[in-house]
């Protein structure tokens, strides 16, 4: 990119927070030609149908995936009429389209040195774009990637919760998620609210979201476009594999301790899980 996306103060804020803490950041992607509504409608046509998720945006904070209703509009119609469509659209793994791959790699390349010294090499770089109608809610959920959410249009509030709080996200939910047996959506109880940290962002602002930090999102009074740039790391893979190995231990009647948070590396259980998979012992 000709000019930096992240100013010096954002690099400093990111370095202070990464990888374990949320942080509000700034970016310089406003008015980027690949992030207009017309460009995003074209992107939706270019992506495989399996990489597009969209549904009505008036949802409760907590909802089971099977209870999410379908939309009556096509995804292209939804994007072009997002101001009044009452919907929430996710365009996933945008790096499958060359221009968006270049954008994603350029953005993340600016943080590569900071990431690598903490959690190892940046791996599995993926981008997601969210186009959201006014007032829409993204329900309570968690994601397995390191993530920075960059706000391009409109405003939204993300409420984030502590990763290690097992009242919010129990050890077995972690384990089953990494085995493909638990959806990203989580059950919600109103008493969780007191544990949340609400961060509001508008155009030119961003949020660093730690790996698997539970969160939900409330869109503002205008249509919203957000770009989520994500990556995995040696550390995040080790934590995931340690969680999966704990499930093996739990199946044989043990009560394993949850993996320790960063900077613990969780290598022993991760290596044990990888060995178990090779031997066909995987759950």
Identify the pLDDT of residue 236. Answer: 96
Whether 36 and 160 share a structural domain: yes
Strand 23-26's sheet: what is its strand order?
Answer: 23-26, 205-209, 146-153, 224-232, 123-132, 87-92, 52-56
Whether 212 is covered by a domain: the verdict is yes
Whether 145 is covered by a domain: the verdict is yes
Range of the domain at 77: 8-233
> Comparing C-alpha atoms, which of 1, 7, 234, 249 is closest to residue 124?
234
Domain limit, last residue, from 201, 217, 233: 233
Identify the pLDDT of residue 117. Answer: 95
Rg (CA), the chain: 19
Whether 229 and 241 share a structural domain: no
Whether 261 is covered by a domain: the verdict is yes
Whether 71 and 22 share a structural domain: yes
Whether 127 and 241 share a structural domain: no
Q: Calculate the alpha carbon distances from 146 to 49, 202, 229 in Å.
A: 25, 21, 8
Whether 269 and 225 share a structural domain: no
Give the C-alpha separation, 68 to 55, whole Å: 7
> Over the chain (283 residues), what is each successive 10-residue block's mean pLDDT?
89 97 97 96 96 82 76 84 90 98 98 97 98 92 96 98 92 92 91 97 98 96 97 96 94 93 92 89 64
Strands 205-209 and 146-153: antiparallel
Whether 2 is covered by a domain: the verdict is no
Assign residue 209 the CATH number of its domain: 2.60.120.10
Give the C-alpha separation, 172 to 231, whole Å: 24
Whether 16 and 151 share a structural domain: yes
Whether 1 is covered by a domain: the verdict is no
Whether 60 is covered by a domain: the verdict is yes
- Write the DSSP symbol of residue 265: -
Identify the pLDDT of residue 60. Answer: 80
pTM for this predicted structure: 0.92
Identify the pLDDT of residue 279. Answer: 82
Whether 60 and 173 share a structural domain: yes
Contact 206, 151 (CB under 8 A): yes
Whether 3 is covered by a domain: the verdict is no
Q: What are phi and psi of 170, to 5 degrees?
A: -70, 160
Whether 44 is covered by a domain: the verdict is yes
Give the C-alpha separation, 173 to 187, whole Å: 11
Whether 122 and 220 share a structural domain: yes
When divided into structural domains, the chain yields a total of 2
Whether 229 and 242 share a structural domain: no
Instruction: Dump the DSSP string for 197-242.
Output: EEEEE-TTEEEEE-TT--EEEEE-SS-EEEEEEEEE-HHHHHHHHH
Contact 190, 12 (CB under 8 A): no
Contact 56, 97 (CB under 8 A): no
Identify the pLDDT of residue 206. Answer: 98
Q: What are phi and psi of 141, to 5 degrees?
A: -160, 180
C-alpha atoms less than 13 angstroms from C-alpha of 189 in its C-beta half-sphere: 6
Whether 228 and 242 share a structural domain: no
> Comparing C-alpha atoms, which of 139, 150, 111 is closest to residue 229?
150
> Comparing C-alpha atoms, which of 132, 56, 46 is closest to residue 93?
46
Whether 140 and 223 share a structural domain: yes
Strand 197-201's sheet: what is its strand order?
Answer: 137-141, 215-219, 156-160, 197-201
Give the C-alpha separation, 152 to 30, whole Å: 6
Contacts 24+ apart (CB under 8 A), 30-33: 30/152, 30/203, 30/204, 32/103, 32/152
> Comparing C-alpha atoms, which of 187, 217, 212 is closest to residue 64?
187
Whether 263 and 180 share a structural domain: no
- Write the DSSP symbol of residue 257: P
């Amino acid at each position: 990119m000709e000019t930096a996306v992240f100013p010096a103060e954002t690099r400093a804020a990111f370095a202070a927070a990464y990888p374990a803490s949320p942080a509000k950041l700034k970016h310089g992607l406003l008015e980027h030609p690949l992030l207009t509504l017309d460009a995003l409608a074209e992107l939706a046509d270019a992506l495989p149908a399996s990489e597009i998720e969209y549904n009505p945006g008036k949802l409760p904070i907590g909802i089971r995936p099977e209870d999410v209703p379908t939309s009556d509009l096509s995804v292209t119609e939804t994007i072009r009429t997002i101001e009044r469509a009452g919907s929430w659209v996710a365009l996933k793994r945008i790096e499958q389209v060359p221009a968006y791959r270049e954008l994603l790699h350029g953005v993340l390349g600016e943080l590569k040195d900071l990431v690598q010294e903490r959690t190892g090499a940046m791996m599995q770089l993926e981008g997601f774009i969210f186009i959201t109608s006014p007032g829409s809610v993204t329900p309570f959920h968690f994601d397995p990637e390191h993530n920075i959410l960059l706000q391009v249009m409109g405003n939204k509030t993300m409420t984030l919760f502590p990763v290690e709080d097992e009242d919010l996200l129990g050890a077995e939910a972690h384990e089953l998620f990494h085995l493909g047996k638990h959806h990203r959506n989580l059950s919600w109880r109103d008493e969780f609210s007191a544990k949340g940290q609400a961060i509001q962002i508008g155009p030119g602002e961003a949020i660093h979201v730690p790996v698997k930090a539970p969160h939900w999102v409330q869109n503002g009074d205008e249509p919203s476009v957000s770009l989520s740039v994500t990556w995995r790391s040696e550390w995040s893979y080790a934590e995931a594999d340690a969680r999966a190995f704990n499930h093996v231990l739990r199946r044989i009647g043990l009560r394993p301790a949850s993996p320790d948070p960063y900077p613990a590396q969780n290598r022993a259980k991760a290596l044990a899980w990888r060995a178990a998979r090779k031997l066909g012992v995987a759950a």
